Amino acid sequence: MSFEKRASLIILLFLLPACGDSDAGDDGSGASQGSGGSQLECDDGWADCNGDAADGCEASLQISSEHCGACGASCHGGPHVGSAMCAEGVCVMVGCEPGWEDCNLSPDDGCETDVSSDADNCGACGNVCASDGPQVAGAASCTDNACVLSCATGFGDCDPEAAGCETDLGSTDESCGVCGYDCGPGGCDAGACAPVAIVTSAGEPFDLALAGDELYWADTSGSIRRVDVGSLATDVVWSGEVSPASLAVSDDWIFWSTWSQNAIRRGKRDGSGGPQTLCGPSMADSVNPMGLAFDGQFLLWVDFGAPAGGMPAIHAWVESPSPLCIKLHEDVVPFTDVALTPFGDWYWTQVDPVAVSGTIKNGPLPVPSYVAETTTSDPDVPAFVALDPTHVYWTTLNGKLKRAPLGETGNSETIYQTSSANEPSALGIALDSKYIYFAADTLGGPVQGTIYRLRKP
């Protein structure tokens, strides 16, 4: 072949890739361009899911959570799916929303099982709530990811390691009435905690006030006394008083009322100095002062009696900017006690001596323009009242402890009923985060009164 022919053939071979069709040209993603440039033939495991030939076969069907196994097959479409991934072209649930699981291992219906309430998958897939064992009365249920047995009356499933409803709630001190309710030293009787006497010779205890571990009481025979609720050691802080009735306590002071002298007095908690009269002793507009409450600014008290031509009233003493005794509110029905809330409301008890019944009421401070709101009426004749963050508690003259939710009308419950003929009346009451303290006495009888401690419901 002549030189000229060989040169023409070489030139022709170099020009062939640029002329006409080509089946060369890998785009780096496993794609090959088809004829005409409008169709893409993709390698196994790849696809042109966006329909744009410019980026070739851009979707990996093996790992793309939006195109898992095929274009548009999303792993995120199922209900309650928190997160999912694509592995070898199959959707795998990585995480579900709280309280849900993929128990059937099917990505089609996502995280289909509510493990917070499914008795066959309680808390986790496959955890079946058993319904057998002693004192089981029906099928088990699942509540808040935990199996709950249907127990016979008076029994509870308090030990998760034991079979059935193993605990007698009527007599188990550590689970009295309900699982985990520990009565302490009082013990459990018929599903209710029994109170413990912490002072058995309390004189004539009338009202109580608690400050830290020190529980104070007014002994109407003439003294202000206290007990350390930890050690149960008692002492007399002030003596020689005339019929002290009610009291309140601050960081430094004990405040008390004197029933017959119509006076409000105070003395140091450490017993130093001498008692001071704040209002009285012959206040023409305050007769038989009773329940006291102090919030750091106001000292409130109520009247059980009434002046000639007047009515029982609620009063206040304010120390700053100058000491002042003022009347806040009058009512025809005698008062017995008052208590203050940290958020500016106060509760008080009133007794109707004609109807032999009483009412627990509440209203806001400041008082001069208040409108009373009845919280609950009580035919058991309420005596003293105390508050915690959720409830108002009170005692009754026929020996009951009762309570109702703060701010609600009605809806009261009896917590305890005294049974001793020597102590028919429940009087002063005080609360801490765990216990109710109350005084029981005969209201002037010959038997020494008792101060009790009872575990809160």
> Which one is predicted more confidently, 388 or 370?
388
> Which one is predicted more confidently, 33 or 148?
148
The arithmetic mean of pLDDT across residues 349-356, rounded, is: 69
> Residue 20 pLDDT more than 60?
no
> Which one is predicted more confidently, 16 or 359?
359
Cis peptide before 321 (omega within 30 of 0): yes
> Residue 15 pLDDT more than 50?
no
> Which one is predicted more confidently, 374 or 149?
149
> What percentage of the chain reaches a pLDDT higher than 90?
33
The arithmetic mean of pLDDT across residues 281-299, rounded, is: 81
Of 258-262, 308-312, 400-404, give the lowest mean pLDDT range. 308-312
pLDDT reported for residue 343: 55
pLDDT reported for residue 283: 65
The arithmetic mean of pLDDT across residues 324-338, rounded, is: 81
174-200: pLDDT as tens digits: 999 889 888 888 888 888 888 889 998
Nearest to 51 by CA among 22, 71, 69: 71
How long, in residues, is the chain?
457
pLDDT band at 319 (very low <50, low <70, confident <90, very high): confident
195-455 domain in CATH 2.30.42.10?
A: no
The arithmetic mean of pLDDT across residues 432-445, rounded, is: 81
| Most confident listed range (283-287, 343-347, 368-372) | 283-287
pLDDT band at 421 (very low <50, low <70, confident <90, very high): low
pLDDT reported for residue 206: 87
Please give the mean pLDDT across all residues of the chain. 81
pLDDT reported for residue 344: 61
pLDDT reported for residue 261: 86
pLDDT band at 447 (very low <50, low <70, confident <90, very high): low
pLDDT reported for residue 254: 96
pLDDT reported for residue 444: 54
The arithmetic mean of pLDDT across residues 272-296, rounded, is: 84
58-92: pLDDT as tens digits: 999 999 988 999 998 888 767 888 888 888 988 88
> Residue 268 pLDDT more than 80?
yes
The arithmetic mean of pLDDT across residues 243-265, rounded, is: 91
pLDDT reported for residue 304: 84
pLDDT band at 103 (very low <50, low <70, confident <90, very high): very high
The arithmetic mean of pLDDT across residues 258-281, rounded, is: 90
Query: In the chain, what are the domain boundaries?
Result: 45-112, 136-192, 195-455
3-state secondary structure labels for all residues of the chain: CCHHHHHHHHHHHHHHHHCCCCCCCCCCCCEEECHHHCCEEECCCEECCCCCHHHCCCEECCCCCCCCCCCCCCCCCCCCEEEEEEECCEEEEEEECCCEECCCCCHHHCCCEECCCCCCCCCCCCCCCCCCCCCEEEEEEEECCEEEEEECCCEECCCCCCCCCCEECCCCCCCCCCCCCCCHHHCEECCEECCEEEECCCCCEEEEEEECCEEEEEECCCEEEEEECCCCCEEEEEECCCCEEEEEECCCEEEEEECCCCEEEEEECCCCCCCEEEECCCCCCCCCEEEEEECCCEEEEEECCCCCCCCCEEEEEECCCCCEEEEEEECCCCEEEEEECCCCEEEEEEEECCCCEEEEEEEECCCCCCCCEEEEEECCCEEEEEECCCEEEEEECCCEEEEEECCCCCCCEEEEECCCCCCCEEEEEEECCCEEEEEEECCCCCCCCEEEEEECC
> What percentage of the chain reaches a pLDDT higher than 70?
82
Are 222 and 243 in contact by the 8 Å Cβ rule? The answer is: yes
